[in-house]
Amino acid sequence: MSKVLGIFLGILTAIGGFVDIGDLVTNAVVGSRFGLSLAWVLPIGVIGIIVFAQMSGRVAAISGRATFEIIRERLGPGLSLANLGASFFINLLTLTAEVGGIALAMQLASGIEPLLWMPVAAFAVWLVLWRVGFEVMENVVGLLGLCLVAFAVAVFLLKPDWGALVQSAVPKVPQSEHPSTYWYYAVALFGAAMTPYEVFFFSSGAREEHWSKKDLGESRANVFVGFPLGGLLSLSIAVCATLVMLPRGIQVESLSQVAMPVAQAGGTVLLIIVILGMVAATFGAALETCLSSGYTIAQYFGWPWGKFRKPAQASRFHLVMIVSLLIGLGVLATGVDPVQVTEFSVVFSALALPLTYLPILLVANDPEYMGEDVNGKGTNAIGLIYLAIIVVASVAAIPLMIVSGMGA
């Protein structure tokens, strides 16, 4: 039974990590503007996160150390401090977007302005992290997040021409769009799929659940179930926007527009289900990103960390999470649009990807940490290919953002 429950780590990572505010917004925006001509990015992102997440989970299970504990040991305090600074900034930006995403989702459910929901959302995230155990947290949020399957249901209810839909997935730049805008959103989709906090959370979650070598099968199951599920849900969001928004020339600019195709396809009942899924997905991602803030800082400085410890035994770990939530809340209080924060977070995630994935690849090949469980030739070949893709995306992110005017 414990093995079955363990799979929910992968489900939570998929729903709260792969399908978060970044994926909800970015996939809908892309579908409404480009149709499925950028759908090819999703399988590339899914395979990439599978490759590196299984590496980070295996490293944690074999070495008994989480990602940033090893990064400090492997890269030294100076270089790893630069890595920490960039990773923490991206993580904080993403946390801000997720808290804003919870507020926007709650606005859909209640009609109350999101600015009033933001402090409530931040407090709820802190309360769960302070009081709720790790397994309960992942199981409950993972199950509720599965309500996002409503997007897949909506695709079938919209009764598309499947042949035409498949043909529209051919990679090409639409005549109405500039190539720089097309590639800007390609990088954004890739960044949304491979956000750094996913591996921080997955690796640290393995230590939270005390994985060892005998749990490697469970680790692989989590990765190969969780992330493809997230990819399919992301594709469903893009397809819904393609079927409903693109023909009408409506560009998605808000979370409420993301849900419009579901309301058209299934009415009020399906809309309620998808809103519940949005709340759960953004809340789950806020939990992950907030935990990742604490994980990275505490692991770098060697502080006690983890929800398996009582808060009094890991006080600095919890303090980092509280401060991170307060900073994010302060940014949102300025009136900045959470959707705009989301767009920044996915692009800057792409910018920081090499800092996260290169150390994982190095450690996964280090017999000092891994013994006989170092990467095989096949895994290394795929890892190196993806490292090259990651570097290209990272180098291209800022120039594309400037040239395209952030996809305007």
Distance CA 100, CA 340 (A): 10
Which residues are CB-contacts of 61 (< 8 A; sequence separation ≥ 6)?
Answer: 206, 211, 212, 213, 215, 216, 219
Report whether 232 contacts 62 (CB < 8 A).
no
Query: What type of residue sits at position 86?
Result: A
Distance CA 243, CA 287 (A): 32
Angstrom CA distances, 85 to 82, 236, 247, 325, stand at 5, 35, 43, 17
- Three-state secondary structure along 142-174? HHHHHHHHHHHHHHHHCCCCHHHHHHCCCCCCC
Angstrom CA distances, 228 to 19, 43, 72, 150, 237, stand at 11, 8, 31, 17, 14
pTM of the model: 0.89
Distance CA 297, CA 88 (A): 8
pLDDT (tens digit per residue) in 81-132: 888 888 888 889 999 999 999 999 999 889 899 999 999 999 999 999 998 8
Residues of the chain with pLDDT under 50: none
What pLDDT sits at residue 255? 86
Report whether 286 contacts 93 (CB < 8 A).
no
CATH of range 2-403; options 1.10.580.10, 1.10.4160.10, 2.60.120.260, 1.10.3720.10:
1.10.4160.10
Report whether 251 contacts 29 (CB < 8 A).
yes
Which residues are CB-contacts of 159 (< 8 A; sequence separation ≥ 6)?
Answer: none
What pLDDT sits at residue 60? 83
Distance CA 263, CA 271 (A): 5
Distance CA 387, CA 19 (A): 23
Report whether 30 contacts 219 (CB < 8 A).
no
What pLDDT sits at residue 74? 74
What pLDDT sits at residue 51? 86
What pLDDT sits at residue 2? 54
What pLDDT sits at residue 333? 93
What pLDDT sits at residue 5? 55
Report whether 28 contacts 238 (CB < 8 A).
yes
Using DSSP's 3-state secondary structure scheme, residue 211 falls into coil
The label of the residue with tokens 């990088």 reads: 187
DSSP state of 216: H
Distance CA 143, CA 15 (A): 9
Report whether 236 contacts 320 (CB < 8 A).
no
Which residues are CB-contacts of 406 (< 8 A; sequence separation ≥ 6)?
Answer: 184, 343, 347
- Domain chopping of the chain, boundaries: 2-403
